Amino acid sequence: MVGMMGWGANIFEQQEWRKGPWTPEEDKLLSEYVNLHGEGRWSSVSRCAGLNRTGKSCRLRWVNYLRPGLKRGHITPQEEGIIIELHALWGNKWSTIARYLPGRTDNEIKNYWRTHFKKKEKASEKQDKKKILRKIRKHQPQQNCTTTTITTTDKKMSPQAEDVIMRSDEINAFTNYDHQNITTDQDPVVDMPPVTNISYAWTETFPMDGLWGGLWNLDDHSLQAASDHKCKVAIQNQPATANCSYATDYAVNLCNGGFIF
C-alpha cells in the first residue's frame, strides 16, 4: 500500500512527510503512542512515535479511524433521521452534527450526506420554485387526510423510491418557501402534497424541521420500533399560516399511533 498511486508520496525526497493510506504498522505506532500519552500535541506525535506523518495526518487517522468507540457499518435509519434534522438546523456543521451521533465521525457523516443527498439537493435548488408549487397544486388531494404505509426493509432503491426522493425535494423547496407571504386565504398550495408509493427509507421522505424535531425526541426503543416495523404516516392537510413555524401541520403517526412534534 505504501507505493499506491494517487497520493503523491515521494520516497526520493528527504524530509517529505509520508502521505496516502496508513499501514497497520503506522496504526499500531500511533495507537500505542496515544494510549500512552493521550490525545493532543499532534505535531510531536510524529517525532515521538517514529511516524513520518504530519500532525494533521496523525490526528485525522486517530479521530476518524483508530479512536476507541467508533461505530462501523452503515448509517442506520435513525441516524439518518438525526443527520437530516440536524443538517436542516445547522447546515454543513459536520463536527457539530457528529457530536449527536456517538461513534460517528464528522468525516463519515459528511461523506454520507454527500453520497446520499447532495445530488438531490442540487437538483432541487435548480428548480424554479413556482414550477414546483404548481406541481404541488396539481397533486393536491381533496381529502383531509392521506395515510400511507411505508417500510424500511427494502435494501435497494426502487423506481417508486426515486419518485419519493423527488417528492422530498419538492417538499424541501416547499418548506423553504417564504412563509411570511403565505396566508390561508390567498394561497391554497400551502397544503401538503400527497405522498404515495413510498417503498424506501421513510426518513428521506419528510425532511421537515417539525417532523425531525419529533423523531429526535423519541427514545431509542421508539425509534427502533419505528424503523423495524411498518410505519403509518398520516398527513394532515392543514394550511400553513404566517405564524406557523414549519411548513404546515404535518402529523406523523408512528407505530403506536402517537403524533410526534
Partner DNA sequence: AATAGGCACAACCGCAACCTA
Partner DNA sequence: ATAGGTTGCGGTTGTGCCTAT
Least Cβ distance, residue 171 to DNA (angstroms): 20
Least Cβ distance, residue 211 to DNA (angstroms): 23
203-238 as b/e: b if 16+ CB within 10 A: bbbbbbebbbbbbbebeeebbeebbeeebebebebb
Name the one residue in this structure whose C-alpha cell is 435548488. Answer: 125
Spatial separation of the C-alpha atoms in residues 24 and 30, rounded to whole Å: 10
Spatial separation of the C-alpha atoms in residues 50 and 214, rounded to whole Å: 49
Least Cβ distance, residue 49 to DNA (angstroms): 13
Question: What single string gives the DSSP state of each residue in 54-106?
Answer: -HHHHHHHIIIIISTT---SPPPHHHHHHHHHHHHHHSS-HHHHHTTSTT--H
Residues 22 to 51 in contact with DNA, rule: CB under 7 A = 22, 40-44
Residues 155 to 194 in contact with DNA, rule: CB under 7 A = 156
Nearest to DNA of 22, 174 (CB atom): 22
Is residue 71 part of the contact set for DNA (CB under 7 A)? no
Stretch that binds DNA, among 52-60, 132-140, 173-181, 236-244 (CB under 7 A): 52-60
Contact assessment for residue 246 and residue 209, using Cβ atoms and an 8 Å cutoff:
yes
Residues 104 to 163 in contact with DNA, rule: CB under 7 A = 106-108, 110-112, 114-116, 119, 156
Stretch that binds DNA, among 18-26, 146-154, 187-195, 239-247 (CB under 7 A): 18-26
Say which DSSP state 203 is in. G
Q: Which of 29, 49, 51, 57 binds DNA (CB under 7 A)?
A: 57
Least Cβ distance, residue 97 to DNA (angstroms): 8
Question: What single string gives the DSSP state of each residue in 132-189?
Answer: HHHHHHHH--SSSEEEEEE-S--SSPPHHHHHHHHHHHHHHHHHTS-GGG--TTT-GG
Least Cβ distance, residue 108 to DNA (angstroms): 6
- What are 256's three cell numbers? 403506536
Nearest to DNA of 1, 256 (CB atom): 1
* CB count in 10 Å sphere of residue 110: 17
Who's near 30: CB < 8 A, 6+ residues apart?
Answer: 22, 45, 49, 51, 58, 61, 62, 66
Nearest to DNA of 54, 253 (CB atom): 54
Stretch that binds DNA, among 30-38, 86-94, 136-144, 235-243 (CB under 7 A): 86-94
Stretch that binds DNA, among 93-101, 124-132, 220-228, 240-248 (CB under 7 A): 93-101
Stretch that binds DNA, among 102-110, 122-130, 213-221, 248-256 (CB under 7 A): 102-110
Question: Which residues are at the interface with DNA (CB under 7 A)?
Answer: 4-8, 18-22, 40-44, 53, 55-57, 59-61, 64-65, 73-74, 92-96, 106-108, 110-112, 114-116, 119, 156
